[in-house]
A and B are shown apart, each in its own frame.
Chain A
Amino acid sequence: MAWFKEATYPAILATIVGFVILFSFFYPGTFLDQVSSKLVNWATVMICVIVWVGVINVVRSAVREVKERVPGRWYVALIQLFLMAVMFISGFGEGKNSTAPGAPTVINWLFNNYFYYGALGSMALVGIWAVTAAYRAFRVRSAETFLFFIGAFFVLLRNAPIGGVIWTGFPIIGDWIMNTPFMAMQRGLTVGLGIAIVAYALRYYLGREKAAYGG
């Protein structure tokens, strides 16, 4: 398998697969289309396997941190391993229907009361930080930042019902900002991104982009 470690061969394989999928769009219902469908299904199956690779990597990394007593991290890794084990055991132990809506199972309880609120809480902090960030960083120092502030002012008041209560013009101006200058900018960005993807794909197919294979 030494030959496979070299970046060239995986790159050739990926290029062939890429071309098969690309050209199958132009020839629907043909043999090429069937091959392409199979390849896409394989990719989905492979991603299912990759999830397990991720789990193994996380466990290996956490076990190493615990073994080496990495300062400030080993106990976090220990908690992580414990929680992973609990979720894993409860999920597998309670069977296929353990996550059915409202099922009184350990995994449902853990998901709804621990995992869900933990993730939600971490995201909610962003809302609090955004206020201090706006207060400390949003300084009008030039014409551009003034325009930025005006835009933010109208869009903030457009999105909140209080804007329309204060003055009916706020939602109208806010809508115009979102539908005209913002949309023009966003479409330009999207078109630019599309061209960049084509350029990247071309580099990939020509074997100039080997980072994905460690080349």
Chain B
Amino acid sequence: MVSELIRNLGRIPRRVIYTLTVIIIALPLLIPWNLPVSVEPMTKTFFDTIQSLEGTGKRILLLCCIMPEFWGEARHEYFAVVQHIFLLRDVKLIIGPIAGPPTVGLIHQLLFEVHNPLNKTYGVDYVVLPLIPAMEPALGALARDFRACYKTDERGTPIDELPIMKGVNTLDDFAIVIWGEPIKMSIMAARILYPQHPKVTYLVLCNTEGWTFVAPYVGPGMPYKSALWGIRPAAEYQLLYGGPYTEAVQYMDCLSGYHVLIIILIILGNVAAIAATKKREGQ
């Protein structure tokens, strides 16, 4: 009876697993578990790098290629970073969408939803540059001659008329360049931008899937000083700046439940497989 039950653990219907998954993800949203989230050193480095610019009047360039399918996870990092920059006094943000046309829409969504406590002004404190619908050639062109790539902002205002762009000619005129791409194009940015402008500090935003590709390029002596690589680091970052946007922190309990469910199911599947093998051997 018990051995039969154990063997049946290997035959849990797919629908039951789907239902369990939905319940385990939804449950913490209804009844929060409030599990403590510790902050990783890498997230702290990312935070400190941006925080150090407060009151300096320096510029941050956010170059990004975002796809809607990855935005569900990536948005938390972007919201956290842009929110943090908007909370800092006298730090300027220049956003340059690259490659994917949906990037423009997602950037607009981000700027519309993010809280702007200091009422930063478009063209003075932040600006969105037009999309360059190319990846490697675009990065090459930006690295060689940044100014030649942009004649206007995305609204059609000539670059020369924007106060935020005064004195910006090359990538060296930015204190920090943040490269955002969900999967593995971050390698390309490290390969093209860093060798030509090694004095600039580079940070990277990627998804959890992309982290396996990007990880070797991040850390001391590497092109990227630090990285945010998914919803967990985004939650840590949101805890660090303590701003109004804390959605990722709320999702941490869902992540815990989801990971535990995967582990339990793997163990159940293996216990059932071992029981089935033993029964076959016994026969």
Contacts and interface: CB of A to CB of B under 8 A. Distances in A.
Contact of A44 (B111, B138, B213): B138
Pairs of residues from A and B, 9 with the lowest C-beta to C-beta distance, nearest first: A162-B256, A119-B68, A43-B137, A101-B112, A123-B69, A47-B134, A135-B265, A160-B259, A102-B112
Given A51-B133, A127-B258, A135-B268, 9 more contacts: A33-B144, A116-B68, A120-B71, A127-B21, A128-B18, A128-B22, A132-B17, A134-B262, A183-B215
Interface in B104-142: 104-106, 108-109, 111-112, 132-134, 137-138, 140-141
A47 B265 CA distance: 46
Given A47-B133, A131-B261, A135-B12, A119 B67 contact: yes
Interface string A121-133: 0111001101110
B259 A162 contact: yes
A57 interface: no
A131 B21 contact: yes
Interface stretch (A64-72, A151-159, A201-209): A151-159
A131 B70 CA distance: 19
A115 B102 contact: yes
B118 to A, nearest CB: 17
A134 to B, nearest CB: 5
A65 to B, nearest CB: 24
Contacts of A214: none
Contacts of B2: none
Contacts of A30: none
Interface stretch (A7-15, A34-42, A78-86): A34-42
B109 A161 contact: no
Contact of A112 (B37, B105, B156, B269): B105
A77 B215 CA distance: 41
B237 to A, nearest CB: 14
Of A51, A152, A160, chain B has the most CB atoms within 10 Å of the CB of A160
A47 B137 contact: yes
Contacts of B266: 134-135, 138, 149, 152
B134 A164 contact: no
26 contacts: A36-B144, A37-B144, A44-B137, A44-B149, A47-B134, A48-B134, A96-B156, A99-B105, A101-B112, A111-B102, A112-B109, A120-B72, A123-B70, A130-B262, A131-B21, A131-B258, A132-B14, A135-B12, A135-B268, A135-B269, A160-B260, A161-B252, A162-B256, A163-B259, A183-B215, A190-B187
Contacts of B37: 161
Q: How large is the interface on B (under 10, 10 to 19, 20 to 34, 35 or more residues)?
A: 35 or more
A108 B137 contact: no
Of A41, A48, A118, A182, chain B has the most CB atoms within 10 Å of the CB of A41
Of A40, A41, A115, A153, chain B has the most CB atoms within 10 Å of the CB of A40
Contacts of B148: 37, 41
B159 interface: no
Nearest to A36: B144
Contacts of A130: 262
Nearest to A175: B40
A171 B40 CA distance: 10
Contact of A139 (B22, B112, B141, B273): B273
A60 B122 CA distance: 41
Interface in A86-121: 96-97, 99-102, 108, 111-112, 115-116, 118-120
